């Protein structure tokens, strides 16, 4: 057992390793050694005891293999094992784990399986682990997809938000990459070490990627965070296609929800981004017809057509498409948006006038009493949708709604702050751009493409010069028109 | 109103005709004297079908006009109308004998001209062929076969030898196209007439060209271009050169109204009031001149009042009728916009006094205008105030700067994502044409768990 312990505590050595190459070599050999030890009988026997002596934050590779051995030998009480796993997942050294991806994925699979931990804990642990591994959150892994499914199915969206709110721009499975830096290099972008080969993710299909964003959208819908939902769904509907006719069913589903979410967020139908794939555009225009009709009706000044549109399609249809609740919300929001749009015309308007001018989409008629409209307006104010106040004059005049002046102009400092914040956000993109650039620069196919392109440019230039010289008449030779050539 | 008249206008109303109940300010006889040619009947007939007070008189005049000509179809239509509107009038009965005689005569004349033309063609004398075609086309036009007339007129073109003949062909074609309400064709024929003429001939037809062009543009609802066209017409040329299309006062009304609808105050001053060419036209229509002057000097309510009092006249004009509503509402909203410019706050009552009619307040109209973005203002219905909002370029700049940065970030992320997807070869590929939905996703359904 002592022999085992000394081997396990061997890495990382007490003094810090001087450079990346040395670290790389040591980590590799240590990870191989641990893998060899892990299959021995004595390792399994002593795993439970050794766990206490191996610090999860310091000797992460060793601790990880002990955890796996302890579970397979069933040598620890369940509660203790779970506590150890939780501690490990929230303290492990991400740099070491780059060398132990296969073992780490075993652990993550336990979480995803959902039997070991209650779902809410599993979601939280997965989120922490994924963010420790890749603080930028820019790489999609198979565990991201599993996480969003788990979170959405078990209604634990909140804990997964730190991962879901990240912008994914890299996907595993890129071919023809040449990475010269060692795996442990601290400036290595996450996409270079979270690979299928390192074991930290499994191969993804386009369906997985689409599902991930659609489910993200649904999570945000659940949280009523419409802007984020719209953004996530837009990623699905603008998913690139190689040809001009293919479109996934997931994309159509996302389009329909996207339309409704757009109505809720902006009060008008969103316009399809211009870079939507051709096949998808066609599919949306045929399969999404009822939704586009709803979008169009929503923008009209009377509720009549929205109501007929909804009723002609029928709640049955929307419920089959799993959009009935969203659709109900859209119907409710119609009048709210009408009231909200009044702020562009009025500064103060009596409740009675609001009642007469706006219609409920459910009945296609104005509300019956002033009290109802007051309740609605008050609700909008309380929810923060509307900035204004309901006033009741002391002299018994009619109650009215006063919209707050929205002062568009920002003060110089406010504006500078906002701009600085935006600039900061843009600066945060820099590592992503750098990583993409590096990857392109080291991609064999891209380099080949660049070379042919340059050659073509040179040829074109030469052709142009030639054709120009041929065009010059003999007389022009004296005017100096070809002096530059 | 007599029962028969009522019945007549109910029919007209059901045919989406415009009905004018108020009497116009002009005298029918004097009005029609300004015109010659087939437009006389068209104008009389239109007035007969639109104006309640002038209905019977105009229809009777139209019947008389039709009987002087050769177009039997027109006669039938006019009598048909009068029979419903005023069955007791002597003109309301068909003059069967005249009708039959005229139709027979028309037929004989057509045949005669056709044979003559054939003869000319055999002789191969260009001038005769041209004249033969012209005679035939004129005859066809007079009996109302405009389609054939246009075709025959255009057959004159190859045999034209002098600039005057060239212009004549163009004028014939323009006139027929105007009668057929083919505004695009009018413009096409006019542009052919425009080029390569001798100075004198061109000068003589200049007002004709401009006025016809203006009418065509009006028909296409291009008000500003139409206004400019009318405003550039030369008033020194006698009205008889274009009286088959419009009268002098018509030019003043069209030009003035359209200018009011489409130009701002400076332009109105320089292009309408200070325009010496157009001034003599305006003398024929002093009310338009007054309206423009009032607008320029900022008395918008007076301007609108004048225009409103002449609305029946405009509604009875053959070319203006369809566009009166649009032109008037454009002028009105321009007045409101101009009225609001110098103020930061106006009370609704003063605006009502300036623009509101007895039956409707200004508030709804103003709300619509704000909604459509024509005016930057807010209404306060409680204190009855209208506050205008000055454009704030600073706020706009700040807003657009933030938006641009936001957009930039979004686009950058999107491009990175697409490159990432392309690098990982994850783009959608359909395989077969029909396989729009890869089968491994077909059974993917999402349970919605949105709780409300």
Is residue A382 domain-resident? yes
The model's pTM is 0.71
Do B252 and B231 meet the contact criterion of CB atoms below 8 Å apart?
no
Last residue within a domain, chosen from B56, B74, B94: B94
Same domain (yes/no): A130, A73: no
pLDDT band at B440; cut points 50, 70, 90: very low
Q: Is B373 exposed, middle or buried (0-12, 13-18, 19+ CB in 10 A)?
A: exposed
Could you tell me if residue A409 is inside a domain? no
B26: in domain: yes
Last residue of a domain, one of A376, A403, A430: A403
For residues A59 and A109, state if they share a domain: no
Q: Model confidence over B336-385: pLDDT tens digits?
A: 888 888 888 888 888 887 776 656 667 888 888 888 877 888 888 888 88
User: A118 and A68, same structural domain?
Assistant: no
Could you tell me if B81 and B55 are in contact, meaning their C-beta atoms sit under 8 angstroms apart? Answer: no
Check residue B442 and give its pLDDT.
38
> Which A residues in the span 157-176 are in contact with B, Cβ-Cβ below 8 Å?
167-175
What is the DSSP secondary structure assignment for residue A239, as one 8-state letter?
A: -
Q: What is the pLDDT of residue A235?
A: 92
Q: Is residue B146 part of a domain?
A: no
pLDDT the model gives residue B1: 54
| DSSP state at residue B269 | I
Contact of A426 with chain B, judged by CB distance below 8 Å, is answered with yes
Please indicate, yes or no, if residue A194 is contained in any of the structural domains: yes
Query: Which of A243, A283, A322 is nearest residue B429 as measured by Cβ atoms?
Result: A243
Question: In the prediction, which pLDDT does A462 show?
Answer: 72
Mutate to test the interface with A, among B361, B408, B428, B447 (most CBs of A within 10 A): B428
Q: Tell me: the pLDDT tens digits for B140-177?
A: 988 888 888 988 988 888 888 888 888 888 888 988 99
Is the CB of A206 less than 8 angstroms away from the CB of B445? no
- Residue that terminates a domain, selected from A382, A403, A424: A403
Which residue, among B29, B28, B27, B33, has the nearest Cα to B239 in the 3D structure?
B33
What CA–CA distances, in Å, run from B264 to B231, B271, B407? 15, 10, 37
Q: Which of B55, B70, B94 is the last residue of a domain?
A: B94
Looking at residue A218, its pLDDT comes to: 94
> What is the mean predicted confidence (pLDDT) over B267-286?
87
Q: Give pLDDT, residue A85.
A: 92
What digits encode the pLDDT tens for the residues B225-237? 999 988 888 888 8
pLDDT of residue B357: 64
Residue A304 falls inside a structural domain: no
CATH number at A385 reads 1.10.10.10
Does residue B431 carry a pLDDT above 60? Answer: no
Query: CB neighbours (10 Å) of residue B311?
Result: 15
How far CA B107 is from CA of B103, B113, B153, in Å, comes to 6, 10, 19
In a domain? residue A81:
yes
CB distance from A225 to chain B under 8 Å?
no
How many separate domains does chain A show? 3
Question: B241: distance to nearest CA of chain A, Å?
Answer: 51
Residue A37 forms part of a structural domain: yes
In this structure, the answer to whether residues B410 and B440 fall within a common structural domain is yes
Is residue A195 helix, strand or coil?
A: coil
pLDDT in tens, B288-319: 999 999 998 888 888 888 888 888 888 888 88
Question: Per the domain annotation, does B153 fall within a domain?
Answer: no
Q: Averaged over B202-229, what is the pLDDT?
A: 87
Q: Check whether residue B83 and residue B1 sit in a common domain.
A: yes
Report the pLDDT value the prediction gives residue B443, as an integer from 0 to 100. 38
In this structure, are B368 and B410 located in the same domain? Answer: no
Structural domain span for residue A172:
100-178+186-204
B87 within some domain: yes
Whether residue A415 is predicted with pLDDT greater than 90 in this model: the reply is no
* Residue of A317 and B92 predicted with greater confidence: A317
For chain A, the first-to-last Cα distance in angstroms comes to: 83
Q: What does the pLDDT read at residue A7?
A: 81
Percentage of residues in chain B with pLDDT exceeding 70?
A: 91
Long-range contacts of residues B58-65, Cβ cutoff 8 Å, at least 24 apart: B58/B28, B59/B85, B59/B86, B59/B91, B60/B89, B60/B91, B61/B28, B61/B32, B63/B91, B64/B91, B65/B40, B65/B41
**For chain B, how many structural domains are there in total?**
3
- Residue of chain A with shortest Cα separation from B425: A174
Give the end of a domain, one of B61, B94, B127. B94
Q: What is the pLDDT of residue A14?
A: 65
Query: In terms of CA atoms, which chain B residue is nearest residue A278?
Result: B428
Give me the domain span that covers residue B48.
1-94
Average pLDDT, chain B: 83
Q: Considering A99, A121, A152, which residue would you say is the last residue of a domain?
A: A99
Cβ-defined contact of B398 to A433 (cutoff 8 Å): no
Nearest CB to A207 within list B381, B402, B438: B438
Report percent pLDDT > 70 for chain A: 93
pLDDT of residue A114: 74
Q: Please report whether residue B107 resides in a domain.
A: no
User: What pLDDT score does A253 carry?
Assistant: 92
Rounded distance between C-alpha atoms, residue A328 and residue A311, angstroms: 12
**Does B362 share its domain with B432?**
no
In a domain, A113, yes or no: yes
ipTM over 0.85: no
- Inter-chain touch B423–A171, beta carbons under 8 Å: yes
Q: Are B254 and B319 in contact (CB under 8 A)?
A: yes
In the predicted model, what is the mean pLDDT of chain A? 86
For residues A117 and A42, state if they share a domain: no
User: What does the pLDDT average to over B127-137?
Assistant: 88
Closest Cβ opposite residue A169 in set B394, B405, B413: B413
A484 has pLDDT over 70: no
Query: If pLDDT is split at 50, 70 and 90, which confidence band does A418 have?
Result: confident
Q: CB neighbours of B331 closer than 8 A, spacing ≥ 6? A: B257, B260, B261, B303, B304, B307
């Amino acid at each position: 057992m002592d022999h085992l312990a000394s081997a396990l505590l061997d890495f990382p050595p007490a003094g810090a390793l001087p450079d990346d190459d040395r670290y790389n070599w040591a980590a590799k050999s240590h990870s191989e050694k641990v893998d060899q030890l892990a299959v021995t009988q004595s390792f399994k026997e002593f795993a439970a005891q050794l766990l206490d002596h191996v610090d999860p934050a310091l000797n992460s590779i060793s601790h990880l293999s002990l955890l796996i051995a302890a579970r397979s030998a069933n040598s620890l009480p369940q509660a203790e094992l779970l506590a150890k796993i939780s501690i490990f997942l929230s303290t492990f050294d991400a740099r070491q784990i780059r060398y132990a991806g296969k073992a780490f994925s075993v652990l993550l699979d336990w979480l995803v399986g959902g039997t070991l931990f209650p779902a809410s804990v599993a979601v939280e642990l997965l989120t922490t682990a994924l963010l420790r591994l890749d603080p930028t959150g820019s790489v999609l892994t198979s565990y991201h997809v599993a996480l969003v499914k788990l979170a959405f199915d078990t209604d634990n969206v909140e804990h997964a938000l730190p991962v879901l709110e990240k912008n994914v721009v890299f996907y595993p499975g890129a071919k023809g990459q040449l990475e010269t830096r060692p795996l442990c290099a601290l400036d290595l972008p996450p996409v270079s070490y979270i690979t299928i080969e390192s074991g930290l993710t499994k191969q993804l299909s386009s369906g997985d990627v689409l599902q991930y964003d659609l489910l993200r959208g649904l999570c945000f819908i659940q949280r009523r965070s419409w802007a984020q939902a719209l953004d996530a769904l837009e990623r699905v509907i603008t998913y690139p296609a190689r040809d001009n006719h293919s479109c996934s069913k997931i994309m159509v589903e996302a389009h329909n929800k996207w339309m409704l979410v757009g109505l809720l967020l902006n009060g008008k139908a969103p316009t399809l981004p211009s870079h939507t794939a051709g096949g998808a555009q066609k599919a949306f225009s045929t399969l999404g017809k009822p939704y586009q009709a709803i979008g169009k009706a929503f923008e009209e000044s009377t509720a009549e057509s929205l109501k007929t549109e909804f009723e002609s399609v029928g709640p049955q249809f929307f419920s089959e498409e799993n959009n009935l609740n969203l659709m109900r919300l859209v119907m409710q929001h119609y009048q709210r948006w009408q009231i909200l749009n009044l702020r562009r015309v009025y500064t103060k308007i009596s409740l009675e006038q609001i009642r007469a001018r706006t219609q409920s989409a459910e009945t296609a008629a104005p509300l019956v009493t002033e009290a109802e409209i007051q309740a609605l307006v008050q609700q909008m104010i309380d929810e923060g949708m509307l900035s204004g106040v309901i006033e009741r004059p002391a002299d018994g005049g009619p109650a009215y709604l006063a919209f707050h002046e929205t002062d568009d102009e920002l003060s110089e400092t406010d504006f500078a702050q906002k701009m600085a914040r935006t600039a900061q956000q843009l600066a945060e993109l820099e590592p992503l751009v750098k990583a993409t650039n590096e990857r392109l620069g080291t991609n064999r196919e891209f380099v080949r493409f660049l070379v042919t392109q340059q050659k073509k440019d040179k040829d074109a230039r030469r052709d142009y010069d030639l054709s120009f010289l041929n065009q010059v008449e003999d007389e022009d030779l004296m005017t100096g028109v070809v002096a530059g050539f | 109103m007599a029962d028969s008249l009522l019945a007549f206008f109910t029919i007209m109303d059901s045919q989406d005709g415009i009905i004018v109940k108020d009497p116009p300010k002009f005298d029918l006889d004097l009005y029609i004297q300004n015109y010659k040619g087939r437009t006389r009947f068209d104008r009389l007939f239109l007035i007969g079908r639109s104006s309640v007070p002038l209905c019977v008189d105009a229809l009777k005049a139209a019947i008389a006009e039709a009987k002087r000509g050769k177009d039997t179809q027109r006669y039938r239509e006019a009598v048909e109308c009068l029979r419903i509107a005023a069955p007791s009038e002597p003109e309301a009965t068909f003059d069967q004998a005249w009708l039959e005689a005229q139709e027979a005569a028309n037929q004989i004349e057509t045949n005669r001209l056709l044979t003559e033309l054939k003869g000319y063609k055999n002789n191969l004398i260009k001038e005769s062929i041209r004249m033969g075609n012209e005679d035939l086309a004129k005859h066809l036009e007079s009996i109302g076969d405009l389609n054939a007339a246009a075709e025959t007129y255009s057959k004159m073109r190859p045999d034209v030898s002098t600039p005057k003949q060239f212009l004549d062909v163009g004028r014939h074609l323009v006139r027929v196209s105007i009668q057929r309400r083919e505004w695009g064709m009018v413009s096409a024929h006019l542009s052919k007439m425009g080029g390569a003429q001798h100075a004198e001939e061109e000068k003589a037809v200049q007002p004709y060209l401009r006025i016809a062009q203006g009418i065509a543009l009006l028909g296409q609802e291009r008000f500003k271009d139409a206004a400019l066209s009318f405003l550039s017409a030369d008033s020194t040329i006698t009205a008889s050169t274009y009286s088959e299309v419009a009268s002098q006062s018509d030019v003043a009304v069209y030009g003035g109204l359209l200018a009011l609808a489409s130009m701002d105050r400076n332009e109105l001053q320089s292009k309408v009031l200070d325009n010496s060419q157009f001034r003599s036209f305006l003398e024929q229509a002093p009310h338009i001149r007054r309206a423009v002057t009032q607008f320029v000097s900022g008395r918008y309510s007076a301007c609108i009042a004048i225009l409103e009092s002449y609305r029946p006249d405009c509604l009875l004009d053959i070319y203006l009728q369809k566009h009166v509503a649009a032109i008037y509402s454009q002028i009105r909203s321009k007045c409101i916009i101009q009225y609001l410019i110098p103020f930061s706050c106006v009370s609704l009552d003063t605006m009502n006094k300036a623009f509101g009619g007895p039956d409707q307040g200004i508030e709804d109209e103003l709300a619509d205008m704000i909604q459509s973005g024509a005016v930057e203002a807010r209404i306060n219905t409680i204190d009855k105030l209208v506050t205008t909002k000055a454009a704030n370029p600073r706020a706009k700049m700040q807003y657009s700067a933030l938006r641009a940065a936001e957009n930039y970030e979004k686009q950058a992320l999107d491009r990175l994502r697409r490159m990432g997807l392309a690098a990982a070869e994850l783009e959608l590929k359909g395989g077969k044409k029909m396989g729009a939905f890869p089968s491994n996703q077909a059974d993917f359904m999402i349970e919605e768990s949105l709780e409300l």
